Amino acid sequence: MHNIDSILQQYITQGVYVVGVADGDKTNAFTAAWVMQVSFSPVLLAISINPEHYSYQLLKQGSVCSVNVLSQEQMQMAAHFGRSGVPDKMLVGTWAAAVTGAPVLQESLAYFDCKVSHEVSAGDHQLVICEVLEARQLNVGAAMLYSETGNMDNSTALY
């Protein structure tokens, strides 16, 4: 018999992204699977973020972010940005500022440059609704799926 967590990971299809945040000179990034498009006009993405993450502080204060799409070859990148409290976290990867000032991961398949529209509470997470101002493809490859990451996020312990 499977548990809810394993059925969720197997059958709710999600990608894996590195979300870059900035508040002035301060930048950070975190791995996120809970990202989805929620409107055509304007184009809105919803990002579900644990408000205890350091990235949440910068996202709240800076009101900008980039959503960077990881490829199937970038498991180490997913794991690195999936850890909290890592010193010099942004020394991994090549980063450039998008128009909004959000840091963009140059090794990603594509990125979306966003400004925060509004926020909705959702259980133990905050849904941050972001307007997409620009999107660019940077590299070619197949997008990573959350189901391929196994228990990288230690989520089995959280259900």
Ligand X SMILES: Cc1cc2nc3c(=O)[nH]c(=O)nc-3n(C[C@H](O)[C@H](O)[C@H](O)COP(=O)(O)O)c2cc1C
User: Interface with ligand X by CB under 6 A: which residues?
Assistant: 16, 28, 30-34, 48-50, 53-55, 78, 82-84, 89, 149, 152-153
CB atoms within 10 A of CB 71: 19
Q: Which is nearer to ligand X, 81 or 101 (CB)?
A: 81
Shorter beta-carbon distance to ligand X: residue 31 or 108:
31
Q: Do residues 110 and 137 touch, judged by C-beta distance below 8 A?
A: yes
Identify which of residues 66 and 149 has a Cβ nearer to ligand X in the complex.
Answer: 149
| Contact residues for 136 (Cβ-Cβ < 8 A; gap 6+) | 110, 111
Rounded to a whole number of angstroms, the minimum distance from the CB of residue 136 to ligand X is 22
Q: Is 146 helix (H, G, I), strand (E, B) or coil?
A: helix
User: Could you give phi then psi for residue 52, rounded to 5 degrees?
Assistant: -85, -10
Residue 149 Cβ vs ligand X, minimum distance, rounded to whole Å: 4
Cβ 12 to ligand X, closest distance in Å?
12
Shortest Å distance, C-beta 85 to ligand X? 7
Report the residue number whose CB is nearest to ligand X. Answer: 82
Within 8 A by CB and 6+ apart from 81, the residues are: 18, 29, 30, 31, 89, 92
